[in-house]
Every structure is written in C-alpha cells, then in structure tokens.
Copies of this chain bind each other. A is one copy, B any other.
Amino acid sequence: MAKTPPKVLTDTYEEVFTALAHPARRLILMTLNFEGGEMTAGDIAALFKHAWPTTTRHLQVLEAAGLIAHERQGRARLYRIDKKRLALARDWLGWFFKSPR
C-alpha cells in the first residue's frame, strides 16, 4: 500500500494559529523580536532544554507559516522574524472588537 501523502495546510490562518499554539514557538518569536529580529539556529536552540532537532522542527513550522525566514551565513543559519502574518492574525482578532455594525 502506498504511503499517504502528508496533509498540507492550505489555510493561512490555520498555519499561523497552529504555529502560535506551541509555547516553544511563541518563545522563539518573542526572543527573535526582542533580539532585534535576527538570530542563528544555534542561539535559538540554546533557549531550550530539548534536543536541537526538536528546535529545527519548530523553526520549520514557523517558516512554513511565514512567520520567520532564513538565510545562510557561512556554516550558520540566520533566522529572522517576518511580522506580516502576525499582523494578519492580529487584524483577524481585531474584527471582533471593531464591528458594532
């Protein structure tokens, strides 16, 4: 039997809110923001007690959601925050407060 292909999240909001749901991923975003927007994978991994590959995975989830992007810098990888989708999520939530009619 052929292996079923993995599910693809087509909905942007679903990807963004799913990414924001995990505390490690929120910490990555907050730290990245606080540190001026750019950090290496190693510096990010050092924030956590768990194994490095686990962090790699969180970074991939964040990148797939469009919340971060990366660039090679020699043998390191520099991750930077991208706030456009954070703004999108904030605006979605905003509608609940600015819609008197």
Residues in chain A within 8 A of chain B (CB atoms): 11, 13-14, 17-18, 20-23, 26, 29, 33-34, 81, 83, 86-87, 89-90, 93-97, 99
Known contacts A11-B23, A13-B23, then 13 further A-B pairs from the complex at CB < 8 Å, ordered by chain A residue? A14-B21, A17-B18, A17-B21, A18-B21, A29-B96, A33-B96, A33-B99, A81-B96, A83-B96, A87-B97, A89-B93, A90-B93, A90-B94
Q: Which secondary structure dominates chain A's binding surface?
A: helix
CB closest chain-B residue, reference A32: B96
A13 and B26 in contact (CB under 8 A), knowing A18-B21, A21-B21?
yes
Chain B residues within an 8 Å CB radius of A83? 96-97
